Amino acid sequence: MQVSCSTIGFGALPIGDALDRIAAIGFTEVEIGVLGDFCPHLDPLAPIAETVARSAALFDRCGLRPVALNSAPRIYCDDPADPGQLLRVADRLLELAAGLRCELILDVGEREDTDAGLRRAAAVAGEAFRRGRDRHGVTVSVEAPHRGMNAQTVPEALRLLEIAGEDALGVTYDTSHATCGGTPAAEGLRLMGDRITRVQARDHRDGDVHHTPGDGEYDWPALARFLAANPRPVCLELEFDGRLTPDQVAAESGRGREFLHRLLRSP
């Protein structure tokens, strides 16, 4: 199974430098962060054709294939509670993803005190999925569960999928956030089943979701069994954040990839 790397950990660097770092570690596939000032590697509000052409040239130069854009449309909205604004940004992200021939990962919005946030996230996710499928030929998934978001536990993620009403809408499952949500790995993987289309590999320890795989509490053998038994292809990727220096992210990405390769080779 191929393991890809996210540019999010290199968010402080220009995208060309981030891609150079990732290619130098030996990765051939990359997830691109589109997350405002946190990871400004692509701008969904800029002219799309120019952005696609410039980005494609960088990928070709580095020998990397983009596999997904990881974004939060709310970052680019004046009112992040307005579904119309969220979908207008999602449309631009879908055009970018289509131009780069990759998938789109959407967040589900910062947590709100009422049920309205989860229902809005489900409605936007369902509509973005349909537009991706019907207008752009782009696969859309939602990142859930995710701490601090409208679906931060496995049960909430399942409810979001139910409300969205699209059986083919997949989930980008972050191992660290899933552990933080309190559901044991084996149970969560069983419950979410083939709705998991992507796995972001990080570890969780003592409330911190930013550890390298193998350094925390997550049940990695359970994930290996799930991946081996799942008939649906699942993309596996490493994602770190900007708390580490670029040199540290590079070192931990290499170490995490080796851990995952050993895990996947285990009987």
Residue 23, by phi and psi: left (phi above 0), alpha (psi -120 to 50) or beta? alpha
pLDDT tier at 2, thresholds 50, 70, 90: confident
SS3 243: coil
- pLDDT at 12 (0 to 100): 92
Mean of pLDDT over the chain: 94
Give the type of residue at 155: P
Residue showing tokens 């369902």: 126
Residue showing tokens 């782009």: 138
- pLDDT at 162 (0 to 100): 96
CA dist 94 and 168 (Å) reads: 17
- pLDDT at 267 (0 to 100): 54
CA dist 186 and 34 (Å) reads: 31
- pLDDT at 230 (0 to 100): 82
- Residue-wise pLDDT tens digits, 106-150: 999 999 878 899 999 999 999 999 999 999 999 999 999 999 999
- Residue-wise pLDDT tens digits, 209-267: 889 999 999 999 999 999 999 877 789 999 987 678 999 999 999 999 999 999 988 75
Q: How far is CA 17 from CA 10, 20, 23, 41, in A?
A: 8, 5, 10, 10
Percent of the chain past pLDDT 90, that is, above it, reads 87
Q: Measure CA 158 to chain center.
A: 17
- pLDDT at 80 (0 to 100): 93
- pLDDT at 242 (0 to 100): 64
Closest CA to 159 of 192, 196, 134, 130: 192
pLDDT tier at 1, thresholds 50, 70, 90: confident
DSSP state of 212: P
- pLDDT at 47 (0 to 100): 97
Closest CA to 140 of 157, 128, 124, 152: 128
- pLDDT at 181 (0 to 100): 83
- Residue-wise pLDDT tens digits, 180-208: 888 899 999 999 999 999 999 999 888 88
CA dist 66 and 93 (Å) reads: 14
The tokens for 223 are: 């994930």
DSSP state of 149: B
Cβ atoms of 188 and 219 within 8 Å: the answer is: no
Q: Is the N-terminal amide bond of 145 cis, ω within 30° of 0?
A: yes
Residue showing tokens 């409605």: 123
- pLDDT at 7 (0 to 100): 97
- Residue-wise pLDDT tens digits, 35-71: 999 999 999 999 999 999 999 999 999 999 999 999 9
